[in-house]
Chains A and B, each alone.
Chain A
Amino acid sequence: MRGVATSRGPIATPVVINCTAGWSSTVAAMAGVELPITTFPLQAAVTEPVKFFLDPVIVSGTLHVYVSQTARGELVLGASVDPYPAYSTRGSLEFTEEVAAHVLELFPSLAALRVLRQWAGLCDMTPDFSPILGKTPVEGFHVDVGWGTYGFKAGPVSGEAMAQLVATGETPAIIETFDLARFGDGRLVGEKGAAAVGH
């Protein structure tokens, strides 16, 4: 690894970390690294605001749906990733229909609520629903990718471990089992901490 070419000129560096989400395959391809990742859109929607009534986040693994209420009173609705891979972040009617039907099974009283907006983000899914952290076959090109539909809480500690890898050149023990080589060696990670919906 010698550097990165950017739209504002070249940056010389012996180490690069690919910590993208949604585009980790395309960024890795720039370095000639192949990843076991497929990109799926994950949609969510928000309703018009109502008086605060819902304190916890409600998740149903059976219905594949989650509901929470924001401080402004809007209900945030989400479900599993779209049924086919894509780099498009356009919302779909199928999603709105399905998430609404499942939310109404949990909260029939919400039938008159209107959806304000919906959106999508890209999720890089791995075969074992676990992230890929650490070195790649290209010297100096590291990855912190494949978090799929989760990673908010594990993100900071993975950043700390990646910083340690950069500083010492050694892979910290806490991320050893999440290496890219696990797929070639046939030692996938059974990640039970992955999100309750989505798979």
Chain B
Amino acid sequence: MLLIPCVHCGPRNASEFAYADAVLRTPDPNAAPPAVWRRYLYMRTNPAGLASEWWYHQSGCRRYFMVERDTRTNEIRAAALPPRPADRGAP
């Protein structure tokens, strides 16, 4: 059983969580043309190795957080909360 280290609840079985896609940089909604949005929607690096991912603790705290996982071994290196808006350089 894969254990996911939830940043709020501690390690829990993966069956409590939903994988919620790779961590991607959201295009600028005021400037990005359709081609950039489609690339954001569909294109994935799909790494065989370390991946940055969103996970959702649906049967627990119901929060989203970020996980660094090796897709070859399922070893989890790190889990963290997303950076707060202020840390991302809000406009």
A binds B: yes
- Give chain A's interface residues, CB within 8 Å of chain B: 23, 25-26, 29, 34-39, 83-88, 90, 92-94, 127, 183-186
- Whether A184 contacts B19 in the complex (CB less than 8 A), given A85-B46, A87-B72, comes out as no
Contacts of A23 in B (CB 8 A): 48
* Chain B residues whose C-beta falls within 8 Å of the C-beta of A38 in the assembled complex: 44, 46
**CA of A90 to CA of B71, assembled, Å:** 12
Given the complex, which residues of B lie within 8 Å of A35, measured CB to CB?
43-44, 46
Contact A37 B18 (CB under 8 A): no
* CB nearest neighbor in B for A97: B15
Q: Is B84 an interface residue (CB 8 A)?
A: no
Q: How far is the CB of B64 from chain A (nearest CB, A)?
A: 14
Q: Count residues of chain B with CB under 8 A from any CB of chain A.
A: 23
Interface residues in B16-39 by Cβ distance below 8 A to A read 18-19, 34-35, 38-39
With A36-B43, A39-B46 in contact, is A94–B1 under 8 Å at CB?
yes
B15 adjacent to A94 (CB under 8 Å): yes
Q: Give B80 Cβ to nearest chain A Cβ, in Å.
A: 18
Q: Are B71 and A87 in contact (CB under 8 A)?
A: yes
Which of A25, A93, A183, A186 contacts B46, CB < 8 Å?
A25
User: How many angstroms between the C-alpha atoms of A88 and B51 in the bound complex?
Assistant: 13
CB atoms of A92 and B42 under 8 A apart: no
Nearest 9 pairs between A and B by C-beta? A84-B19, A36-B42, A25-B46, A183-B42, A87-B48, A87-B72, A86-B71, A87-B71, A34-B43
Residues in A neighbouring B34, C-beta threshold 8 A: 186
Q: Is the CB of B74 within 8 A of A88?
A: yes
For residue B79, CB closer than 8 A to chain A, the reply is no
Assess whether B44 is in contact with A37, with CB atoms less than 8 Å apart. yes
Q: Which residue of A lies closest to B49 (CB)?
A: A87
Given A38-B44, A127-B42, list of 17 further CB < 8 A pairs? A25-B48, A26-B48, A29-B45, A35-B43, A35-B46, A37-B44, A38-B46, A39-B71, A83-B18, A84-B14, A84-B53, A86-B74, A92-B1, A183-B42, A184-B38, A184-B39, A186-B34
The residue of chain A having its C-beta at the shortest distance from the C-beta of B51 within the complex is A85
From A34, A83, A88, A94, B71 is in contact (CB under 8 Å) with A88
B32 smallest CB distance to A (angstroms):
13
Q: What's the nearest-Cβ distance from chain A to residue B8, in Å? A: 19
The distance in angstroms between the C-alpha atoms of A81 and B43, with both chains bound, is 20
Q: Which residues of A contact B45 (CB under 8 A)?
A: 25, 29, 34
Q: Are B1 and A93 in contact, CB atoms less than 8 angstroms apart?
A: yes
Provide the residues of chain B in CB contact with A34, threshold 8 Å. Answer: 43, 45
Known A94-B15, A183-B38; contact A88-B73, beta-carbon cutoff 8 A: yes
